[in-house]
């Protein structure tokens, strides 16, 4: 097991509707004032990262969306330690714009920006925004791989020259370079073969949807074996929707209410879209291939990770995730400000205690 403490990130609610497609009350707002305060609460609570989302249209009821890079910058300006991961889509962004924009933010924020390269799953969104080049599943990942190689090249080299199928650079020198060395961290999500192969060759971090410990272990083992063969190091982040309450009954009742009040039309429309996107991969599977209606109510399968219960139960499950190779838990909540604070107060200290005990035992 890693000797490093497991890290925590939270989902930035920069799109409306919260993290579950349900009519249950969610005391969460997508506005900037709410989010600035949330970022401050989170860094105080012990969260090291925040992940903001990129959406141009609503796939599942997220009717309003703030753009991810500019929103991330605003959160960095309101905090002092938190790292904010901005999400971008190859297509609307090209690598040189992203490299320049993120390098500037890095310099303005003492080196605290990171980036999530989203390969895209929503054809309707791409068509709506004028991105008519909807590539096949594996071509999208091939483009993302070139995008990441170009980003790294621009950030780390002078006279950068690159000849890919999607991007070409000739003798380009970015000045100034970003503050973080060797470059801002690069995250990337998915779970298809192509997504995992990119993680095992070019990304610093691999994000995956929520899953059982066994399901995650299979992915981790697969990626780590491939990464080792490529002489590449990659860390793993897993999504989880956290419902921490003083009793297990309370936590389970919240989950039951979220599902009972789910918005079936929006959940089914989202399920249709993401299953189609995954079915287009050669292995006919994507992130959401086995997701049930209940799973899809949290749009990144966050219930499956089962961080639902008392602080002690959740802490034990987090340490079990760490034992199979997870480096970071990406957490979503119903009422973000209150629950991020509760997590920091009640769950995180127990995780640190369990980690220390395990280390002492191993020594
Ligand atoms: C943690 C995480 C965050 C993601 N964030 C976004 C996002 O902000 N916007 C978006 O359109 N897709 C997002 N995605 C979708 C992925 O980038 C990818 O397109 C999707 O998971 C399909 O993967 P697959 O092709 O391997 O099935 C995210 C996925 C994960 C796991």
DSSP letters spanning 305-350: T--EE-HHHHHHHHHHHHHTT--EEEEE-SSHHHHHHHIIIIIHHH
Predicted confidence at residue 173, as pLDDT, reads 98
Encoded tokens for 89 = 């889509």
Task: With respect to residue 50, please indicate whether it lies within any of the assigned structural domains.
Answer: yes
First to last CA, the chain: 12
- What pLDDT digit, counting tens, does each position of 7-65 carry? 999 999 999 999 999 999 999 999 999 999 999 999 999 999 999 999 999 867 789 99
Domain that holds residue 100: 7-362
CATH of the domain at 148: 3.20.20.30
Name which residue sits closest to atom 18 of ligand 1, judged by CA: 190
Q: How many angstroms separate the alpha carbon of residue 146 from the centre of ligand 1?
A: 17
Predicted confidence at residue 229, as pLDDT, reads 97
Q: pLDDT-derived band of residue 196, with 50, 70 and 90 as boundaries?
A: very high
Number of structural domains the chain divides into: 1
Task: With respect to residue 13, please indicate whether it lies within any of the assigned structural domains.
Answer: yes
Name which residue sits closest to atom 1 of ligand 1, judged by CA: 207
DSSP 65: B
Q: How many angstroms separate the alpha carbon of residue 118 from the centre of ligand 1?
A: 6
Task: With respect to residue 276, please indicate whether it lies within any of the assigned structural domains.
Answer: yes
Predicted confidence at residue 191, as pLDDT, reads 84
Predicted confidence at residue 273, as pLDDT, reads 77
Predicted confidence at residue 132, as pLDDT, reads 84
Q: pLDDT-derived band of residue 68, with 50, 70 and 90 as boundaries?
A: very high
Q: How many angstroms separate the alpha carbon of residue 79 from the centre of ligand 1?
A: 26
Question: Residue 284: left (phi > 0), alpha (psi -120 to 50), or beta?
Answer: left
Task: With respect to residue 43, please indicate whether it lies within any of the assigned structural domains.
Answer: yes
How many other β-carbons are positioned within 10 Å of the β-carbon of residue 221? 12
- What pLDDT digit, counting tens, does each position of 259-296 carry? 999 988 888 888 887 777 766 677 776 667 778 889 99
What average pLDDT does range 292-320 have in this prediction? 95
The counts of H helices and E strands in the chain are 13, 12
Measured between alpha carbons, how far is 237 from 189 in angstroms, rounded to an integer?
9
Determine which of 60-74, 145-159, 235-249, 329-343 has the lowest per-residue pLDDT on average.
60-74
What average pLDDT does range 215-221 have in this prediction? 96
Kind of pairing, strands 160-163 and 205-208?
unpaired
Measured between alpha carbons, how far is 169 from 151 in angstroms, rounded to an integer?
11
Pocket test for ligand 1, best of 19, 68, 118, 142 (most atoms within 8 A of CB): 118
Encoded tokens for 328 = 């970071």
Beta bridge partners of 87: 116
Q: What is the pTM of this model?
A: 0.96
- Mean pLDDT of the chain, nearest integer: 94
What average pLDDT does range 146-153 have in this prediction? 98
Name which residue sits closest to atom 21 of ligand 1, judged by CA: 190
Cis, bond preceding 129 (omega within 30 deg of 0): no
Distances (CA, A) of 74 to 109, 113, 233: 10, 11, 31
What average pLDDT does range 210-235 have in this prediction? 96
Task: With respect to residue 144, please indicate whether it lies within any of the assigned structural domains.
Answer: yes
What average pLDDT does range 167-194 have in this prediction? 96
Measured between alpha carbons, how far is 295 from 26 in angstroms, rounded to an integer?
18
Encoded tokens for 274 = 């993401």
More confident residue, 2 or 305: 305
Encoded tokens for 44 = 């105080």
Determine which of 208-212, 296-300, 307-311, 328-332 has the lowest per-residue pLDDT on average.
296-300
Task: With respect to residue 2, please indicate whether it lies within any of the assigned structural domains.
Answer: no
Please, are residues 237 and 9 in contact by the beta-carbon 8 Å criterion? yes
Task: With respect to residue 1, please indicate whether it lies within any of the assigned structural domains.
Answer: no
Name which residue sits closest to atom 27 of ligand 1, judged by CA: 286
What average pLDDT does range 235-252 have in this prediction? 98
Predicted confidence at residue 27, as pLDDT, reads 96
What average pLDDT does range 108-121 have in this prediction? 96
């Amino acid at each position: 097991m890693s000797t490093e403490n497991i890290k925590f990130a939270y989902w930035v609610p920069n799109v409306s509707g919260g993290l579950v497609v349900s009519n249950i009350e969610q005391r969460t707002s997508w506005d900037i004032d709410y989010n600035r305060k949330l970022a401050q609460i989170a860094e105080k609570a012990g969260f090291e990262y925040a992940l903001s989302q990129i959406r141009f249209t609503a796939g599942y009821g997220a009717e309003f969306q703030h753009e991810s890079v500019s929103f991330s910058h605003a959160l960095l300006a309101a905090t002092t330690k938190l790292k904010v991961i901005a999400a971008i889509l190859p297509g609307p962004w090209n690598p040189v714009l992203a490299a320049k924009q993120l390098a500037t933010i890095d310099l303005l924020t003492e080196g605290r920006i990171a980036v999530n390269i989203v390969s895209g799953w929503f054809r309707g969104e791409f068509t709506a925004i004028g991105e008519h080049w909807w590539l096949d599943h594996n071509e999208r990942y091939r483009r993302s791989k070139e995008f990441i190689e170009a980003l790294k090249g621009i950030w780390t080299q002078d006279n950068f020259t690159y000849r890919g199928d999607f991007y070409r650079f000739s003798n380009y020198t970015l000045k100034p370079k970003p503050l973080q060395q060797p470059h801002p961290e690069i995250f990337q999500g998915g779970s298809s073969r192509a997504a995992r192969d990119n993680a095992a060759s070019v990304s610093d971090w691999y994000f995956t949807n929520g899953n059982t410990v066994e399901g995650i272990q299979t992915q981790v083992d697969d990626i780590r074996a491939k990464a080792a063969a490529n002489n590449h190091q990659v860390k793993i982040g897993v999504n989880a929707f956290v419902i921490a309450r003083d009793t297990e009954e309370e936590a389970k009742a919240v989950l039951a209410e979220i599902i009972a009040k789910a918005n079936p039309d929006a959940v089914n429309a989202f399920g249709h879209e993401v299953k189609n996107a995954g079915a287009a991969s050669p292995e006919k599977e994507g992130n959401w291939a086995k997701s049930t209606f209940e799973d899809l109510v949290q749009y990144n399968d966050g219930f499956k990770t089962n961080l639902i219960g008392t602080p002690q139960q959740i802490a034990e499950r987090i340490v079990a995730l760490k034992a199979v190779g997870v480096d970071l838990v990406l957490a979503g909540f119903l009422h973000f400000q209150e629950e991020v604070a509760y997590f920091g107060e009640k769950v995180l200290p127990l995780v640190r205690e369990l980690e220390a005990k395990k280390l002492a035992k191993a020594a």
